[in-house]
Structure 1
């Protein structure tokens, strides 16, 4: 059984996100109407070893000529150097504008392959086949593609919507526990933004999803995609409501950058989880939301085995974190823009947040 969630908006061509089990074997049949000639499958070396043969077999069975293009695993592949390598290999494969790029992997692969597809011959179609929970519920939907620079995360990119997203729940069974929990942070984020009832389910019966229960994972992925698709359809380029999806990200990205995006120290999802806890505690400290809401957020995140305090991941300077936050792509004119909360399931965009207040708050949280 599969669930199809349509994603549509006035500014882009509609597409479907298909969630279910056993979808990897159906890839060839599902993209055959899109792939008129050849398909380049961009993936990382780890995913290629696990899922590459099945994907190539599915494409071959549908009569699609395909080639695997691999990159090293990890955030380091979201770079100018790897983007250039991928583009050069697409050219060597002689893809034309009627061909398709498949992004097979987690958020790093999806961002990199999507940006390559956006740039190649001024834009060719691509399909997202996310193999991590984080990618299934977040980065594969909505058309954000990007690479990192030494000055920050996701600062060079483009909006390029996929033609199709296939989220196969079965592939999540191959994830290490830490990667699964990392993705769970983005699931929790969706409840925190706008669906308190979903958050209640995630904190109760649905909590088994963080431990790999397939039925809970499937429900969590479907509801997360429903939330994100509705927001993206309303606001593709983050001019308004879509910014809410960045709850926890401004704090989280600053912390990641201070750790040099070293995923052995902090994964992206862990950064988001910590950022969500900080955003709610800052909201409570400034009188925007009830203290018990911030305490509940902290308890739910901690119960999932995710960090909620700065000292759990490292030692930080409040001034350096604020400087990183001011350089975030959501900032305007050096002013801080944060996603804060009035209550559980009630997030909002706060512009021109006082930098001194954020610095003092971070110091109260243990930053130097």
Structure 2
């Protein structure tokens, strides 16, 4: 073996040794970095989903407050207007409101007894989506339904609350419940209080949020092949979408970390059984989260490192080829001298 080939062989051996050492060091550090990056990506996706929930809830709160202000205005004007005219105006208002608000199932304006009509204990128009149309009804304004004693109404105005005393909040969110007024849908209701000029409680305005579309969106949240998304309500302590495929609606939540979660930023909660648990809380008390097997993130790390390995090997081969070419050019004059000496 001539001196050129010996030097070339030494360079290649040193290059391979150095490349191997760097690669081992890179893999040890890159695996942790890639794992942390993937975890941050998952937490960002959970946070984005919760922010979407909060944006929808905020729109419903604004709508409920707008309806409440309209109800207060018509209560103040009712002595100048016949109750029949107030009924017609409020009915049209509700239909127009929900025609441009597809995310809400419906909503209503519910007055305390005899507030608008001295002959009517119940005065509560309601509008709801029926296919592509919005329908208005007074069927719930009756003794049979008795909206004054429905849980969603008593949440905002308890039966024993003095009507001349303001409540400690303007908005109240009900826990999820099945609407027994006809739709049989799983809904949450936001209540906005109404007051008269003397700050007496005169009723509430409501907006109903149907949970079926939200639950389907949560089921379709697949961040990794083995992702198990879930949705729960803290105060009721029950799942709306369970982490297991066979979980039924209203399965009890046994995880105290989830029930005590307070932040809207995604949190990684300590879990066993080879899973990561990421969750965040919305302003309405809903907690959205995902359970992800450790193997899913480990596989993602391996795939990312394999891609990096391919690039690094290509760079090493290119470098060795360039070194061989450089040595060939450098040693060509020496070979000519050696040939002449020989």
TM-score calculated relative to the size of structure 2: 0.19
Which is greater in Rg? 2
Which one scores higher on RCO, CA 8 angstroms, separation ≥ 6?
A: 2
TM-score calculated relative to the size of structure 1: 0.18
